[in-house]
Chain A
C-alpha cells in the first residue's frame, strides 16, 4: 500500500507512546501516530477521549495547563520534550488554531497577523508587510481586508476572525498547523470556506485537525486517526489510524466501524 508507506516515511510530526496525565488522571495513553508531511490528518472520536489533549501536546501547550506528557514527540528533527528544547522554538514551528476564533481584541487586523513575528523579534517593516500580505492571501482574506488592515480585528465576522487566526498562525511560517475543531463555532458557509482553505494549505504545511464532524474528516483529511475511551472508561486510546478512505470504508476494528457508520456516538 503506497499510502501506508508514505504515512510512515513522510511523517513531519511523530508521536511515540505518548500519554498525558493531569494529576492522577491519565487522559490519554500510549498514542503512537505520525502526521504525514504536507497532508491533513484528522483526529476523530467522541468527546473526552483525548484528541485535543494529544494535539495540544505537540506544541507543548500542556506546559501551562499542568498536564504531564510522557513518551516522545518529534517535529522534523526537533525533539519536542528534550530538556534543552525551548517551548518557544517548538511553537514557532508548530502553529495552532483554536476552537473559538481568538484574535487579540485590542489589535488591528494587521497587528494581529504580524503579532507572532513582531513578538518573535522581527522588526523590519517591509518584511512584516510582505509576510502579512502573504499570510492573508494564504488564509483567503486579503481581498476582503486589504483596504482596512488597520481597523480592529473584532469587527470581522466569526468566520473571518477564524481565517484571521489562521493567517496569524501562518505568518510565522510554521511547518505544522494544529487545528482544534476550528469550525465548531462557525455556520456552514464559514465552515465550507475554512475547509476549502485547509485543503489548499495542505500542500505547504502539515495539518493536524481535531474534528467532531465525520463528514468534515472525509471531506478534508488524507489520513484519519480514531480515538475512543479504553476499557477503563477513563483513558482515551488511539484505536485505529490509516488513510481516511480505509478508516471510513473498510475499518479493521469493529469499534471504528460502529462509530463511523453512526451506530454509536
Chain B
C-alpha cells in the first residue's frame, strides 16, 4: 500500500484527454455563465409565484376564521356554555349541543378506532386480493358523500327501531371516520422500518408481540395524529346527524335519545330568520371551529411529544 506517485506538472494533460477538451470546457463555461442571470431571474419569478399561490390558498382559511370569529365571539358568555335554553329567551345557551357533540363523537371514536387500527394491521400484514379489496373499499368509502352515509345509517339503525338517537349518529360518524382511520393508520405503521420488524422477529419474539411492542409503539405518533384528525373531521359533519341524532332542545346524556349537536344547531339556527337564532348559530360555529383547531393542534403536540420520547 504505497502512496501513488504524485504526477508531474499540475494540469498536465493525461493520455485520455481529447483535443477538443479545452474548447469544450470554454464553451460550456460561457454558456452556463450566460444563462445564469436568466435562470436567476426565472428563479425569482418562480418564488414570487409560489408566494402568491400560498397567499391564495391561505386567504379563504384566514377569512373564514376571521369572519366566524367576528360574528360568533359576541354570542359567547357563561350562559352560552352552561345553559340549554333555546335562542331568543334570556340566558340562552348551547350546552346541550356541546355535550351532545362530545357524546356522539366520543362513541363514534370508540366504535371506529379499534376496528380501523386492526383493519390497518391486517392490510399491513397481508398482501393479496383480500387486502387489496379492503384497501380499495376504504378508498371508495372515503369518497362516499356524507349524506349518503346519513341515509344509510337511517335505514339501518333508525328505521328498524323507529327511534332517533345519539347512538345512531355515532354509528353514522363511525362509518364516515373508518376509512380515514384505516388509511392513516396503515401509512403510520408502514413508516416503521422493516428492519425493526425483522430485528424483533430475529430475537425470537412472537409476531403479535412484535406488532404490539415495536410496530404499534413506533407508529404511535402517527396513529394519534391520524385518529385525532379523523375525530376533528367527524365532529363538524352535519348530514349524517340530520337523519340519526336529529337534534334536541333538551340537555340529554342518554345516548339512546335524540340528541343535540353543534352542527345541527348551526344548521337549524343559521337558516332561521330571527337575529337571536343566527347569533346562536355563529356562536356555535365559532365554538366548533375552535374545537377543531384545538384538536388539530393537540394532535401535533401529542405526536411531537411521543416522537421525542421515542428518540
Question: Contact flags (1/0) for A34-67 with B, using CB distance below 8 Å?
Answer: 0001111000000000000000000000000000
Q: Is the CB of B3 within 8 A of A243?
A: yes
Q: How far is the CB of A173 from the nearest CB of chain B, in Å?
A: 4
Which of B28-36, B64-72, B75-83, B283-291 lies at the interface?
B28-36
B4 pairs with A122, CB closer than 8 A: no
User: Is the C-beta of B58 less than 8 angstroms from some C-beta in chain A?
Assistant: no
Q: Does B208 contact A (CB under 8 A)?
A: no
Q: What CA separation (Å) do A127 and B20 show in the bound complex?
A: 11
| Binary per-residue interface labels of chain B (9-52) against chain A in the complex, 1 for a CB within 8 Å, 0 otherwise | 01111101110110011011101111110111000000000000
Give A204-228 interface residues, CB cut-off 8 Å to B: 204, 215, 218-222
Q: Which residues of A contact B34 (CB under 8 A)?
A: 121
> Quick check: B24 and A222 within 8 Å, CB to CB?
no
Q: Which residues of B contact A222 (CB under 8 A)?
A: 3-4, 6
Besides A121-B35, A127-B27, A172-B28, 16 more A-B contacts (Cβ < 8 Å) are: A39-B6, A86-B36, A117-B32, A120-B28, A120-B32, A121-B32, A121-B38, A127-B24, A137-B16, A202-B7, A218-B1, A218-B2, A218-B3, A219-B1, A220-B4, A222-B4
- Do A215 and B32 form a contact, CB below 8 Å, given A200-B14, A203-B7, A203-B12? no
In the complex, how many residue pairs between chain A and chain B have their CB atoms under 8 Å apart? Answer: 82
A122 to B25, CA, bound (A): 12
B interface residues, Cβ below 8 angstroms from A: 1-4, 6-7, 10-14, 16-18, 20-21, 24-25, 27-29, 31-36, 38-40
Answer whether A134 and B3 are a contact pair too, CB < 8 Å, given A92-B32, A122-B28, A173-B28.
no
Contact of A173 among B1, B18, B24 (CB under 8 A): B24
Q: Which of B14, B20, B32 contacts A203 (CB 8 A)?
A: B14
Whether A173 contacts B10 by the Cβ 8 Å rule is: no
Bound-state Cα–Cα, A172 to B12, Å: 20
For B7, the chain A residues whose CB sits under 8 A away are 38, 202-203
- CA of A203 to CA of B7, assembled, Å: 7
* Interface pair B36/A88, CB less than 8 Å apart: yes
Q: How distant is the Cα of A218 from the Cα of B25 in the complex, in angstroms?
A: 31
Distance to closest chain B CB from A145 (angstroms): 16
Q: Is A131 an interface residue (CB 8 A)?
A: yes
Q: List 25 A-B contacts (CB under 8 A).
A: A10-B10, A38-B10, A39-B6, A86-B36, A86-B40, A88-B36, A88-B39, A88-B40, A92-B32, A117-B28, A121-B32, A121-B35, A127-B27, A131-B28, A137-B16, A172-B32, A199-B4, A203-B14, A204-B13, A204-B14, A215-B1, A219-B1, A221-B3, A243-B3, A245-B3
Chain B residues within an 8 Å CB radius of A218: 1-3
Q: In the complex, which of the residues A39, A138, A173 has the most CB atoms of chain B within 10 Å of its own CB atom? A: A173
Query: How far does the Cβ of B140 sit from chain A's closest Cβ, in whole Å?
Result: 30
Q: Does A130 contact B (CB under 8 A)?
A: yes
| Among A86, A121, A199: residue with most chain B CB under 10 A | A121
A255 to B7, CA, bound (A): 30
Per-residue 0/1 for A238-258: is the Cβ within 8 Å of any B Cβ (1 yes, 0 no)?
000001110000000000000
> Which residue on chain B has the smallest CB distance to residue A12?
B10
Task: Return chain A residues, CB-CB under 8 Å to B40.
Answer: 86, 88
CB distance from A74 to the nearest CB of B (A): 17
User: A127 near B28 (CB under 8 angstroms)?
Assistant: yes
Determine if A244 and B10 form an interchain contact, defined as CB atoms under 8 angstroms apart: no
Cβ–Cβ contact B11 & A37, under 8 A: yes
Known contacts A134-B18, A173-B24, A122 near B31 by CB under 8 Å:
yes
Question: In the complex, A50→B17 CA distance in Å?
Answer: 35
Q: B220 to nearest A CB, angstroms?
A: 26
Check if A173 sits within 8 Å of B4, measured CB to CB.
Answer: no
Interface residue A192 (Cβ < 8 Å from any Cβ of B): no
Does A89 belong to the interface (CB within 8 Å)? yes
Which residues on B sit within 8 Å (CB–CB) of A134?
A: 18, 20-21, 24
Contacts of B25 in A (CB 8 A): 173
Q: Which residue of A lies closest to B12 (CB)?
A: A203
The residue on B at minimum CB distance from A214 is B1
Shortest beta-carbon distance from B7 to chain A in Å: 5
Q: What B residues does A221 contact at CB under 8 A?
A: 3
Shortest CB-to-CB span from B232 to chain A, Å, is 31
Q: Which residues of A contact B16 (CB under 8 A)?
A: 137-138, 200
Which of A40, A131, A203 touches B24 (beta carbons < 8 Å)?
A131
